[in-house]
Structure 1
Amino acid sequence: MSYVSENTVTTIDVTDPLYCNPNDVVSTLKITPILTEVEKYIPWKRGMQLALSSKRKLGFVTGAVEKSKRDNVIIEAWLAANSLVISWILQNVSEPIKMAILYTQSAKEIWKLLKGKYLVSNGARKYKLNKDSYECNPNRKPVTDYYIQLRTEICAFLDAMQKHKEDARLFQFLNGLDKTFGIEECNTAYVTPAKCG
């Protein structure tokens, strides 16, 4: 697809994540079941990742496809593709969740909000995951079902533990800052933490 802008031609290849196929409408990406307040986040997230990847749009939620600052045509293409991804996410969540994320500007930010809400690393969540994994009984269900359920619960528990470790490292770093740093520096560090090695 080619666009003409101020005597220059901008081409977006059909394999580019910015390319929106005319057949890619809101109803073309449907995950079952949709994310609700009681549904498990991990299977929904995996379904969305697979579906978005098949449309070459996963980079919009991971942050790999960033908004350009150099070309108005590319910016417009990014806005269109980002809006399409947001529409797909909105179609695959319950009404209360939809109302909570409806006015968020980027698919990446929505993805981060949903992860923060459903993949929390608090004690109650860890206890529930631990309890659920012990309640799985292979005698009452086929071994494959038992394995899949146990693996999903363990992965969720490990993700929660990793988040807890990252938070602990961040707090350790912030606590070690010299008192000459003000509250603004601490807030900035907390909002955009760097990955600790």
Structure 2
Amino acid sequence: MVEITGQSSTPGTGGNTIDVNNPLYIHPSDNPSLILVPVSFEGVGYRSWRRGVMRSLSGKNKLGLITGEFKRPSSISPQFHQWERCDNMVISWILNSLSKDIADSVEYVSDAVELWKEIKDRYDQTNGAKLFKSKKISMI
């Protein structure tokens, strides 16, 4: 687990500064309606979609929120509300990159790690027979 601190003091300034390298920093231009990838995931091409989302989140220094590297702090931690706000932002971004049907089916997850795992469990089919079976069942 990575320790995440809120603000860092800059020597000689006597005050706190915002640490833009903190994974919980949210840039003023970031908002819940942001689109991470140009095409919504419709259930086909999971690995390409996944790669695009991971690149976008990495560029925003938010990849650790889906990998579990930046774990939910205790509810009494000074970073809890900042972490929760950032996690909700990442959830919104991922939901915006999914088709409406898929987004509706996963929107009640508790955090970004759970959302990412749920999508992976459903769509990262490496076994051809398993993929065929899931598509056959969905057609019934």
Give the TM-score, by structure 2 length.
0.75
Q: One-letter code of the match for 1:74?
A: Q
In structure 1, the residue matched to 2:29 is 23
Higher Rg of the two aligned structures:
1
Is 1:64 the equivalent of 2:75?
no
The SS at the match of 2:122 is helix
* Partner Cα distance (1:75, 1:11) in 2: 19
In structure 2, the residue matched to 1:119 is 124
- Of all paired residues, the percent bearing the same amino acid is 35
Unaligned 5+ residue runs, structure 1? 3-9, 128-197
- Which piece of structure 1 moves more, 52-61 or 70-79? 70-79
CA displacement at 1:83 relative to structure 2: 0.1
The SS at the match of 2:33 is helix
Unaligned 5+ residue runs, structure 2? 1-6, 9-15, 133-140
* Partner Cα distance (1:89, 1:24) in 2: 13
Tell which has more relative contact order, 1 or 2 (C-alpha 8 A, sep 6+).
2
Q: Name which of 42, 49, 65 aligns with 1:44.
A: 49
User: Given that residues 12 and 18 in structure 1 are in contact (C-alpha distance below 8 angstroms), is that contact kept between their aligned partners in structure 2?
Assistant: no
Q: One-letter code of the match for 1:52?
A: L
CA displacement at 1:19 relative to structure 2: 1.1
Q: One-letter code of the match for 2:45?
A: K
| Higher helix content, 1 or 2 | 1
